[in-house]
Amino acid sequence: MAVGSKELAPAELDTFEDDRLIDELKKAKEELFNLRFQAATGQLESHGRLRAVKRDIARIYTVIRERELGIRATPAPVEVPAKATKKESAKRRVESDEITAEEANK
């Protein structure tokens, strides 16, 4: 979430589920707290980082609010396919080999 980082581009935030958005928001708020603490003690090296983190927080809040209002669609949950057993994967290879052999004979 540093200046110039592309971690939280608006297009990427669209792909995040609500839980992940909230996690990113918590991380950004923690980072902002740490940056403010560093600024108060004179240890902050990059003041532009404060601005970038604030903007990231605003982006996340915007996406969350737009989803609440129905302006922005919530991403559909991605189903992770179950791992195929060795027998199933071997069977698929045999079937695909048969198909390619039939195509070659035509």
- 87 vs 27, more confident: 27
Neighbours of 59 (CB within 10 A): 19
For the stretch 6-63, pLDDT in tens is 567 888 888 899 999 999 999 999 999 999 999 999 999 999 999 999 999 999 999 9
pTM over 0.85: no
In the prediction, which pLDDT does 23 show? 95
Q: What are phi and psi of 76, to 5 degrees?
A: -70, 140
In the prediction, which pLDDT does 87 show? 65
Query: Given a cut of 60, is residue 3 above it in pLDDT?
Result: no
How far apart are the C-alpha atoms of 68 and 64, rounded to whole Å? 6
